[in-house]
Structure 1
Amino acid sequence: MAQETLPERPPAEGSGAVAARGGDAAAPPRPGRAARLGGALRRGGRAGWPRTLLVAAAALAMWLAFPPFDLTPLAPAGVALLTLALRGLTARTGAWLGFVGGVVFFVPVLEGIGRIGTDAWLVLAAVQALYFVPLGAGIALVTRLPGWPVWTAALWVGEELLRGRVPFGGFPWARLAFSQTATPLTPYASWGGAPLVTFVTALAGGLLAYAAVAAHRAYGARDGRRSPVLAAAALAAAAALFGGGLLIPTPTSGRPVTVAVVQGDVPRIGLDWQGQRKAVLNNHVRVTRELAAKVRAGEVARPELVVWPENASDLDPYANPEAYHAIHGAVKDVGVPVLVGALTDTPDGERVENRGIVWDPETGPGDYYVKRHPVPFGEYLPFREILTRLITRFERIPRDFAKGDRSGVLRLGPVTVGDVICFEVAYDREVRDVAPGDLMVVQTNNATYGRTSLPAQQLAMSRLRAVEHGRTILVAATSGISAIVGPDGRVLDRSREFVPDIQVRTVPARTSATLSDRLGAAPEWLLAALGLGALCAAAWAARNNSARNDEGN
């Protein structure tokens, strides 16, 4: 792609500019700081209102690409609009517009957090928007380089790498890749995981932006006959990205295994906390016994394994005999191993473990997985001594959840399953570590966020993970959305929310590794390094240009 020529800056107003015009009058007095700030706000900041509104439109377009709207083409379109808005700006102005775009994007995409509290929702959205500050500054800089659609796409990967790790292990929700879980770009996940899907999505958007710039130049006759060719080439490259994804095979075969997913549902508002815990367990026990009855009546095939959701039993079955006998009776009735989601006390009684327990109909509880990535400020409280004094709501977290120290590959009946719990499905490492299982399981409790966009967004992540690792994924949720997803990302069965549900399906169990499994985290780090290198090159070029301008003056 051609080197672009930046427009020259107008001469600065001041004594030098006045002398250049042949005058010797003193420069007009500069307005006060308050007046300058007011003028900037009226103009939409240094960028002006047209660019600010374009950034807002870009952010809203990207939001609509995510569930429940699933207007997936709007993700690359939003990236294109954001790139056009930031192109040619200073890094400082790009940073500000990046934050504006981040707020406009994250506030609606994370609306489900409002069920916890409006303050928690808006604070989380604002914190996530901060990661768009370096992204905006970076895009403003690298769009001055040749081939800038590639560099802007790499910066998106770098932003998500940082956001998914810092602080407290990060929060990788609403990555660009998670908007592309049923599109021609989805199969790229089997080559380079979610980071590669983010890269090709952003690259498609960057190519659209490049085509728009070239078309505008052709309209203005700035580059003669070259600009239409560049515009056509950029559009052809974007089309090739989508077409290339369609050529990547996604697996559908494997050893057949009959599985069942149980969604017991949760009680309605009005029960006390202790009563609700028992009611949720009783619901899952009852639905599992209904499954056993259907099997005996020949209404459904006999499953070889059953999966319960996270928090199916918030009563510790090791310490509570009533909970133990209720679970064991249901498992014995269905006659096959059940993966039970339960909260248990640590041996010292000071913390809680979020477990997926393999429960055998004869021998009872056996191997288990402890959630390795508990939710900060939800399942454990950083700075507990300080925060509990300031925010009384944190009294609802009387004990921290312990962190597991091993991956969740467990033997469950005739297969091995790789278990992740709740929002761990958003993390590449946690999911990659359990990919060696023949099947993958996502145990989750979405009751707090029911009838918001978050359960659908979580299911979309599971669909991408299925393609990324070539595995069938069983999603078990207390109140929905529970689902069975094939290794090609197709949803084979899906529940409604807040209803009991039983899903029985024969699915392929697979052992082969995808290219993404073999490469691991390498694509993400390489693409992020590419973006960082481009950013350094752009900063160096800008500094040299500034130095030459100073010498010329």
Structure 2
Amino acid sequence: MRLRPPDDPAVPSGAGRAAQPVVAPAAAAAQAAAPRPSRRERWTATARAAAPRSGVAAALGLAMAAAFPPYGVWPLSLVAVAGFALVLRDRTVRQGAWLGFAFAFPFFLWLLVWLRSVIWIAVVVLSGVEALYLVLMAALMVLVQRLRAWPLWCACLWVTQELVRDRLPFGGFPWGRLAFANTASPFTPLAALGGAPLVSFGVALSGTLLAAALLRAHRLYRRTDPRTLRAVLTGAGALVLSAAVFCAGLFVPVHTNADGHVRIAVVQGNVQQPGMHFLGRPMKILDNHVQATLKLAADIKAGRVPKPDIVLWPENSSDLDPFTYPQAYDKITEAVQAVGVPVLVGALVDGPDKDHVQNEGIVWDPVTGPGAHYTKQHPVPFGEYVPFRKQLTKIVPMLNEIPRDFYPGKTTGVMQIGPARLGDVICFEVAYDGIVRDTVNAGARAIVVQTNNATYGRTGQPEQQLAMSRLRAVEHGRAVVTAATSGISAIVAPDGKIEQRSKEFTQQVISADIPLRDEKTLADRVGAAPEWTLAMVGLLSCAAAVAIGRFERTRTAKGQTQQ
């Protein structure tokens, strides 16, 4: 690993200490006599010079957002990565950081626009925070672009950025990962080998290699590269490698053979109204799910539909704690006994103390009543709990609308539900690699995602979350069933194909036979090792760029001293 030689036209400015121009004495005197521009004039000149690239970076950020659902134009993720790498060429680290913000802020602003259902300021603040990770990534990409094989190091830095952003702060926020824009693309099968991080790496590597090929073609067109044959071969090689990475996923086998089947029914009871106040009057959401289940029971009795083995209700399908409110307990029991099979019920349960509540999936048996349960492990900060509550509520009184913090669960959601051993994952948890992987490794033969998207209905958020379910299906070789209060409920096959899906804000029951699988994918076995390896390679490449740059400057300075 070394810097490009000085005679290589691909060397960006800033790769080493620039040669000082020879200034005639008269010209030097004139420069000294000229008035120095004011700070405002310098800032204005800098802004004007940066405006074209900043505009291109912002346009690329918007293109990246369009790669994600609900638009889902996944090739734009490849275009955005390639274009962003080109925008960073020949920039300083500081300029790269600014361009990173110019790219990332519009990207997240559009991607997370669904948060406007809570408050618009949340969209702006979260977009700004998330953009900071890409600011740092862009600055580091400027460094590693000075090295040989820079497309590889840049791709590793995409993984590094996602690794940190997925974990920090407060457990991270994984929205906007390259993998989640590529849940139905040639890159998707890579998830079965190394999970979502390998998909992100594949997209980033293919994009940066494409950028390298375009850069070389541009220099050939402008006749700025004296080594024509070498330039042609280098550019063609980069293009071939980009295409090879693009097609690599097509050769990854996606196993879908079943070790058994279970017939399920997903009940989408619907809500009284979308938005922040979707709950309406107490018992309304529970009544909706009870009535839909009673209708299902009547259809089964009349022979209009086959009897399922289990019934799945979504997150918050009971808007009252059934262990605190007997009327809720009785309503659930009535529906479960009518359908005659175990029902997975979603409810908020008080405890373990007066200051906390637990978001749970509860297996409700028609004979024995409530039994096994799963408590959501990863509550959403500022949505389901308030970090530094005493201090922040004084500054942001709106946080008092979250009266009690959600208490995190300590175990995976693997539960025996009727004849099947299923893994429960609640809402945003589907975005976190470790939670889903641990659930599968603990013995889940299929995955159930209980979710309540009523607050974000018709904003694009339900489509973004469903895309994550598609990726998880391929990553773990499991059928994924999404049960939502107001939509989108769906059946996803182990190959990521959506077999059935509901409309938003309708009462609907989806019935299907889903495959049960015991075989684990390579991604399940290797865990987070590929992600950490790629991330460390990215950071080491940055360290190498800094060390080599210092060595080159020292050598140049010694040479000038000797002359």
Instruction: State the TM-score, normalized to the length of structure 2.
Output: 0.93
How big is each residue's C-alpha offset from its partner over 1:224-267, in whole Å with a ceiling of 9 and x where there is no partner? 12222222222221221232211111122211211111110000
User: Does 381-390 or 142-151 show the bigger shift?
Assistant: 381-390
1:233 aligns with 2:240: no
| Corresponding position of 1:175 | 177
- Aligned-residue Cα RMSD (Å) equals 2.0
User: Does 178-187 or 16-25 show the bigger shift?
Assistant: 16-25
Q: 2:415 aligns with which of 407, 410, 432?
A: 410
Residue 395 to residue 548, structure 1, CA distance change in 2 (3 Å): same
| Corresponding position of 2:124 | 122
| Corresponding position of 1:318 | 323
* CA distance in structure 2 between the partners assigned to 1:7 and 1:135 by the alignment: 18
* CA distance in structure 1 between the partners assigned to 2:13 and 2:25 by the alignment: 20
* CA distance in structure 2 between the partners assigned to 1:179 and 1:59 by the alignment: 13
Letter in 1 for 2:66: L
1:37 aligns with 2:43: yes
| Corresponding position of 2:367 | 362
2:91 aligned counterpart, secondary structure: coil
Letter in 1 for 2:482: V
Residue 243 to residue 449, structure 1, CA distance change in 2 (3 Å): same
| Corresponding position of 1:387 | 392
Residue 311 to residue 270, structure 1, CA distance change in 2 (3 Å): closer
* CA distance in structure 2 between the partners assigned to 1:347 and 1:51 by the alignment: 54
2:32 aligned counterpart, secondary structure: coil
1:7-46 equivalences in 2 (<5 Å): 17-19=23-25, 26=32, 28-43=34-49
Instruction: State the TM-score, normalized to the length of structure 1.
Output: 0.95
Q: 2:59 aligns with which of 57, 66, 73?
A: 57
| Corresponding position of 1:545 | 552
Letter in 2 for 1:262: V
How big is each residue's C-alpha offset from its partner over 1:377-405, in whole Å with a ceiling of 9 and x where there is no partner? 11101111122222222121111110111
2:264 aligned counterpart, secondary structure: strand
* CA distance in structure 2 between the partners assigned to 1:524 and 1:213 by the alignment: 28
| Corresponding position of 1:432 | 437
How big is each residue's C-alpha offset from its partner over 1:296-340, in whole Å with a ceiling of 9 and x where there is no partner? 222222111111111111201111110001011111111111111
| Corresponding position of 1:464 | 471
1:479-490 equivalences in 2 (<5 Å): 479-490=486-497
* CA distance in structure 2 between the partners assigned to 1:18 and 1:134 by the alignment: 41
Residue 346 to residue 82, structure 1, CA distance change in 2 (3 Å): same
Query: How far off its partner does 1:544 sit?
Result: 2.4
Query: How far off its partner does 1:374 sit?
Result: 0.3
Any conservation in 1 of the 2:182–2:188 contact (CA below 8 Å)?
A: yes
1:462 aligned counterpart, secondary structure: helix
1:276 aligned counterpart, secondary structure: coil
Query: How far off its partner does 1:348 sit?
Result: 2.6
Any conservation in 1 of the 2:357–2:406 contact (CA below 8 Å)?
A: yes
1:210 aligns with 2:209: no
| Corresponding position of 1:67 | 69
Residue 499 to residue 360, structure 1, CA distance change in 2 (3 Å): same
* CA distance in structure 1 between the partners assigned to 2:552 and 2:277 by the alignment: 68
Runs of 4+ residues over 6 Å off in structure 1 = 269-274
1:127-526 equivalences in 2 (<5 Å): 127-221=129-223, 222=225, 223-254=227-258, 255-268=260-273, 275-435=280-440, 436-526=443-533
1:190 aligned counterpart, secondary structure: helix
* CA distance in structure 1 between the partners assigned to 2:353 and 2:138 by the alignment: 48
| Corresponding position of 1:98 | 100
* CA distance in structure 2 between the partners assigned to 1:312 and 1:8 by the alignment: 59
* CA distance in structure 2 between the partners assigned to 1:94 and 1:328 by the alignment: 60
Residue 246 to residue 20, structure 1, CA distance change in 2 (3 Å): farther
Letter in 2 for 1:458: Q
Q: Unaligned 5+ residue runs, structure 2?
A: none
Query: How far off its partner does 1:140 sit?
Result: 0.9
Letter in 1 for 2:77: A
* CA distance in structure 2 between the partners assigned to 1:415 and 1:506 by the alignment: 12
Any conservation in 2 of the 1:438–1:509 contact (CA below 8 Å)?
A: yes
* CA distance in structure 2 between the partners assigned to 1:319 and 1:256 by the alignment: 36
Query: How far off its partner does 1:277 sit?
Result: 3.7
* CA distance in structure 2 between the partners assigned to 1:211 and 1:409 by the alignment: 48
Letter in 2 for 1:174: G
* CA distance in structure 2 between the partners assigned to 1:428 and 1:233 by the alignment: 34
Residue 273 to residue 107, structure 1, CA distance change in 2 (3 Å): closer
* CA distance in structure 1 between the partners assigned to 2:40 and 2:29 by the alignment: 30
Letter in 2 for 1:238: S
* CA distance in structure 2 between the partners assigned to 1:412 and 1:105 by the alignment: 41
Any conservation in 2 of the 1:158–1:531 contact (CA below 8 Å)?
A: yes
| Corresponding position of 1:532 | 539
Query: How far off its partner does 1:11 sit?
Result: 5.7
Percentage of pairs with the same residue? 50
Query: How far off its partner does 1:50 sit?
Result: 2.5
Letter in 2 for 1:140: V
* CA distance in structure 1 between the partners assigned to 2:517 and 2:383 by the alignment: 35
Letter in 1 for 2:401: R
Residue 469 to residue 274, structure 1, CA distance change in 2 (3 Å): closer
* CA distance in structure 1 between the partners assigned to 2:203 and 2:288 by the alignment: 42
* CA distance in structure 2 between the partners assigned to 1:177 and 1:271 by the alignment: 29
Any conservation in 2 of the 1:310–1:341 contact (CA below 8 Å)?
A: yes
* CA distance in structure 2 between the partners assigned to 1:75 and 1:321 by the alignment: 51
2:406 aligned counterpart, secondary structure: coil
Any conservation in 2 of the 1:87–1:143 contact (CA below 8 Å)?
A: yes
* CA distance in structure 1 between the partners assigned to 2:304 and 2:158 by the alignment: 49
Letter in 1 for 2:508: D
Query: How far off its partner does 1:22 sit?
Result: 7.4
